[in-house]
Structure 1
Amino acid sequence: MSVQSYEKWLDFLYSLKRTRCRNPMENITKVCKKLQNPHLPFKTIHITGTNGKGTVATQCASILHHSGYKTGLMMSPHLFDFCERFQINAEKAPKEYIVENTPIIKAIIEDEKLMMNYSLIVACLGFKYFHDNNVDFAVIEVGSGGTSDFTNIVNPEVSVITSVGLDHCEYFGNTIEDIAIEKSGVIKPGKPCVIGPNTPIDLLRKIAEEKASELIVVDKRDSYETAIEENSRITKTVIEALKNKGVSIPDQAIENGIKSRPPFRMEEKVILGRKVVFDVAHNPMAFERLFNDLQRICRNKNIRVILAYGISRDPTKILDVICKYAYKIHLVSNDDPLLFDSEILKNNALGLNRDKISISGHIDAVMGEAIRDMTDDEILLVCGSFYIMDSARKALLSI
């Protein structure tokens, strides 16, 4: 396999990112049928949620792996390399698999006269990869939503809704109830569903009752807990639901696997004596939780922020949250078409404390500037988008 052929197929896939599909379940059902229904032979855990789904998915997959099961993990989005989206026992898919199988799926879509779609191909690649490698379990993270997500073709042993907040409102509605209804599509008749404490429990309970599904609620703690602690409790509840269905999972596997976490979730680094935290928070709910966690963990520290933000979201509300907590905000100027221009971000801060905000250039320059300007009573938070995290960490390590 040549590097050029892999890059060619990635370019093809990325060219489809803006396309939307009106009939996702109908389309993926047709494609999977031609692929001999690769999503059916293995057991699945299906996970959605506004925040926390990546952490819960990673922990569940790790626990199953430590229990001796060959375990697939489908993640969204990837951070460093497209192949991260499809993992077996924590090893990402080889590039050769993408090169060999993307054209197979593309040809089926063309033969069926369906709309070519990035998420459709990605879901089919994941299912086929897990099937071809005979996994016992696959932990499937939705791309977005639930009902209309291409992964919703699975019939899981357990489904999970980690949290519900306002995100992707242009697709799913402008209220918590609208978004909860979309995410409730992962609840399957007769199958248990675990929901986190930050969800509209009464609404989801009603939907679960209509589907004769057992709803398992992770209650709110009386005392404060961080997002990581909450997500770990959700994971343990999912594992308990699997054990109740007869899946053998040793306590030691839970102890080992629960330590796993995907990159850039409250990930801490120290450079030149300065603490830097990377986190992929990207909606108001996540930012509120992140800043509350930081204030408790790093008491009496001012928070300096480096922010980039995706064009698919409304930046006004997140800037409102960040300006409430941050001591200083550096906006990243980036030529990535998926990110807001920093001038546009600053214009969205009208009415806020704009003196806190500076436009600082490319991420390489911003990291150096922020580290140099920091004082002993500060921490640096890099946040807002999955798409800058790899570059930001590399820039930090080169200082």
Structure 2
Amino acid sequence: MNIDALLNELYSYSMHGIKLGLENIKTLCNELGNPQDNYKVIHIAGTNGKGSTSTTIETILLEAGYKVGKYTSPHILKFNERIRVNGRDISDEEIVKYYEKIKNIIAKAEIKPTFFEVTTAMMFQFFSDQKVDYVILETGMGGRFDATNICKSEVCVITNVSLDHTEYLGDSIYKIAKEKAGIIRDCPKVIVADNNSDFLKAISEEKATIINVLEKYRDAKFKLNFDNFTTNIEIGKSKFDFSLFGDYQFKNFLTAYEVLKELGIDDATISSGCKKVVWQCRCELYCKSPLTLLDGAHNVDGMRELCKIISKNFKPEDVVIITSILKDKDVTHMVELMKTISKHIIFTSLADNPRGTTGEVIIEQLSDKSGCFVENDITKAYSMAKELNKKLIILCGSFYTLSRFKEEMNEKKK
């Protein structure tokens, strides 16, 4: 089976929908011999910040000389990005090998797993065969019944909680935090970066020591460097030039820093490693002429953080935004936030995505359409933005939007 046909078959498991539960993944891993028990796991849940925190920990553990696996979602350009060892994406040949193995178990066990359950089982076995020291494991959704939640963790992280995926996880911060806190189980410590009282109440009901980095490092400082788009951080006498940019990256760095200190990593290694962190589409500097940033702000909290950063150095009349927002998000509120930092917003299309929509549908939801335009072709939208001749172009609203942009711009370059 070639890789394109295989991935189409793998994606077809998405038709089984989202099923929160551990029965299928336990069946798959039992048949594999429980590979998830063969390495140390750092388990990360949260509404925002999982990817940046995971990648920071990964890069610095590599800097310390460990062999490291990382499991994240969604991918930006290729499925392979979800499963990495020592900074290398799983190869097409390896995807074929591990999918075929899981597919045979599915037929034998007569179960109907979801896409995420299949890929999680593939990942557990791949990392075991690669004999990694550490696995940095992101939950897909929630925690308690997430397919990743069948391993014993060295450290658990819950970055924060906001109202997202409410149809599956609950309609309040407390309820959602309670679901995410399910990853703690027998883990002795949980690291958090959120002061919300309902969030902390839910976490405190688990049997684990809570380390809140916002309290522990309350005297830490940061400054955004708009010259090279890095975040300069001071913790006591130690200084770190963090390659990821943004107010929220300060919190993500503190979270990763605390995990690394728990694992015995010294400040010198953290300092050298944090300069090398690369994470796509998180205030990513796409190009300098014209100045273009890509940011995966895909919900209200993410958009609020993006706006906080941009407003520090740019006026609304100097910024143009290109966006498409998934229809299950709070479109009106997100656009209201965008309008605080930009006088020009171009809505583009994600109509071929089951959760996506067109620019026309988005703009019809707005009571104030001033400064709003529609161009459903994303490369034409970028050309339109450049013609406006502003100081900054931002692409945001969904990782699918950013993925489409990168794919089509890469094709254009070819």
Q: Aligned partner of 1:38: which letter?
A: P
Residue 57 of structure 1 deviates from its aligned partner by: 0.2
Equivalent residues in 2 for 1:141-290, closer than 5 Å: 141-197=138-194, 199-200=195-196, 202-219=197-214, 221=218, 226-243=247-264, 249-259=265-275, 260-270=277-287, 273-290=289-306
Q: Aligned partner of 2:399: which letter?
A: F
Q: Aligned partner of 2:392: which letter?
A: I
Q: Please give the alpha-carbon distance, in whole angstroms, between the structure 1 residues aligned to 2:187 and 2:71.
A: 24
Q: Please give the alpha-carbon distance, in whole angstroms, between the structure 2 residues aligned to 1:88 and 1:333.
A: 34
Which residue does 2:358 correspond to in 1?
A: 341
Q: Aligned partner of 1:381: which letter?
A: I
Q: Aligned partner of 2:324: which letter?
A: A
1:308-352 CA distances to partner (integer Å, 9 max, x unpaired)?
122443423322322333211101124422422222111222x2x
The structure 1 residue matched to 2:80, chosen from 83, 103, 107, is 83
Q: Please give the alpha-carbon distance, in whole angstroms, between the structure 1 residues aligned to 2:47 and 2:157.
A: 12
TM-score between the two structures when normalised by the length of structure 2:
0.86
Which residue does 2:372 correspond to in 1?
A: 357
> Are residues 6 and 252 of structure 1, via their aligned partners in 2, closer, same or farther at CA, if it must alter by over 3 Å?
same
Provide the secondary structure at the position in 2 that maps to 1:39: helix
Q: Aligned partner of 1:358: which letter?
A: F
The structure 2 residue matched to 1:34, chosen from 31, 35, 44, is 31
> Are residues 23 and 110 of structure 1, via their aligned partners in 2, closer, same or farther at CA, if it must alter by over 3 Å?
farther
Q: Please give the alpha-carbon distance, in whole angstroms, between the structure 2 residues aligned to 1:301 and 1:144.
A: 37
> Are residues 98 and 39 of structure 1, via their aligned partners in 2, closer, same or farther at CA, if it must alter by over 3 Å?
same
Q: Residue 367 of structure 1 contacts residue 396 of structure 1 at CA under 8 Å; is this kept in 2?
A: no
The structure 2 residue matched to 1:303, chosen from 319, 327, 332, is 319
Q: Aligned partner of 1:365: which letter?
A: K
Unaligned runs of 5+ in 2: 224-246
> Are residues 342 and 188 of structure 1, via their aligned partners in 2, closer, same or farther at CA, if it must alter by over 3 Å?
same
Q: Please give the alpha-carbon distance, in whole angstroms, between the structure 1 residues aligned to 2:340 and 2:172.
A: 23
Greater Cα offset, 305-314 or 40-49: 305-314
Q: Aligned partner of 2:357: which letter?
A: F
1:171-194 CA distances to partner (integer Å, 9 max, x unpaired)?
212222222112111222342100
Provide the secondary structure at the position in 2 that maps to 1:174: coil
RMSD of aligned Cα (Å): 2.2
Q: Residue 195 of structure 1 contacts residue 217 of structure 1 at CA under 8 Å; is this kept in 2?
A: yes
Residue 224 of structure 1 deviates from its aligned partner by: 7.8
Provide the secondary structure at the position in 1 that maps to 2:14: coil
Residue 297 of structure 1 deviates from its aligned partner by: 3.8
1:52-101 CA distances to partner (integer Å, 9 max, x unpaired)?
11000001111111111110000111111111111111011111111112
Matched, 1:369 2:366: no
Matched, 1:108 2:105: yes
Q: Please give the alpha-carbon distance, in whole angstroms, between the structure 2 residues aligned to 1:204 and 1:99.
A: 41
1:211-232 CA distances to partner (integer Å, 9 max, x unpaired)?
3211100116587871111211
Residue 307 of structure 1 deviates from its aligned partner by: 0.3
Q: Please give the alpha-carbon distance, in whole angstroms, between the structure 2 residues aligned to 1:106 and 1:312.
A: 31
Q: Please give the alpha-carbon distance, in whole angstroms, between the structure 2 residues aligned to 1:233 and 1:297.
A: 24
1:94-144 CA distances to partner (integer Å, 9 max, x unpaired)?
111111121221222232222231000011111111001100100001112
Q: Aligned partner of 2:142: which letter?
A: G
Provide the secondary structure at the position in 2 that maps to 1:219: helix
Residue 370 of structure 1 deviates from its aligned partner by: 0.7
Matched, 1:383 2:404: no
Q: Aligned partner of 2:299: which letter?
A: N
Equivalent residues in 2 for 1:311-350, closer than 5 Å: 311-338=327-354, 339-349=356-366
Q: Aligned partner of 1:212: which letter?
A: K
Q: Please give the alpha-carbon distance, in whole angstroms, between the structure 2 residues aligned to 1:382 and 1:311.
A: 17
Q: Residue 39 of structure 1 contacts residue 127 of structure 1 at CA under 8 Å; is this kept in 2?
A: yes
1:294-313 CA distances to partner (integer Å, 9 max, x unpaired)?
11144676321100122443
Q: Residue 364 of structure 1 contacts residue 391 of structure 1 at CA under 8 Å; is this kept in 2?
A: no
Residue 253 of structure 1 deviates from its aligned partner by: 2.3
> Are residues 315 and 147 of structure 1, via their aligned partners in 2, closer, same or farther at CA, if it must alter by over 3 Å?
same
Q: Residue 72 of structure 1 contacts residue 135 of structure 1 at CA under 8 Å; is this kept in 2?
A: yes
Q: Aligned partner of 1:305: which letter?
A: I
Residue 374 of structure 1 deviates from its aligned partner by: 2.3
Matched, 1:60 2:60: no
Q: Residue 213 of structure 2 contacts residue 255 of structure 2 at CA under 8 Å; is this kept in 1?
A: yes
Q: Please give the alpha-carbon distance, in whole angstroms, between the structure 2 residues aligned to 1:208 and 1:361.
A: 43
Count of residue pairs the alignment pairs up: 384
Q: Please give the alpha-carbon distance, in whole angstroms, between the structure 2 residues aligned to 1:21 and 1:95.
A: 25
Residue 208 of structure 1 deviates from its aligned partner by: 4.6
1:184-205 CA distances to partner (integer Å, 9 max, x unpaired)?
11222342100003x53x4455
Which residue does 2:40 correspond to in 1?
A: 43
Unaligned runs of 5+ in 1: 244-248
Residue 250 of structure 1 deviates from its aligned partner by: 3.5
Q: Please give the alpha-carbon distance, in whole angstroms, between the structure 2 residues aligned to 1:217 and 1:84.
A: 30
